[in-house]
Amino acid sequence: MKQRVLPGFFLLAGLGLAHLAAASAPADTVKGQAHLARAISADMYARLTQESRKQDLAELTTQEGGALMRTIIIGVMRTRQAELEVLLQQAPSSMSLASR
């Protein structure tokens, strides 16, 4: 049975699109982290929008929707890898993934 999986996600991802900051702030600041979060959200929204032009996302099964989201998330994280690395390098050692 097909389930509606992603329409709500479009709404959530789209919320991050509002007013992307033009100026870049240091990654270790709240402003810089917010800018990166909005940029990642905008990228995900754009990729979901592209995918919705190819197929009806509401018709995807839970498994198909999950696989699509994994693909999109991994793609966006690869695109934003340099920015994420800067953020992680500037994180306190207690929050760093390398210290675990």
Backbone angles phi, psi at 28, to 5 degrees: -90, 10
Domain boundaries, the chain: 7-90
The pair of structure tokens assigned to 20 is 């992307």
- What was the pLDDT predicted at 68? 96
- What was the pLDDT predicted at 5? 52
- What was the pLDDT predicted at 26? 65
- What was the pLDDT predicted at 17? 41
- What was the pLDDT predicted at 4? 54
Contact assessment for residue 6 and residue 69, using Cβ atoms and an 8 Å cutoff: yes
What is this structure's pTM?
0.63
Residues of the chain below pLDDT 50: 1-2, 11-12, 14-23
- The DSSP letter of residue 95 is T
- What was the pLDDT predicted at 96? 52
Helix, strand, coil % (nearest 5) of the chain? 70, 0, 30
Helix and strand element counts for the chain (H, E): 4, 0
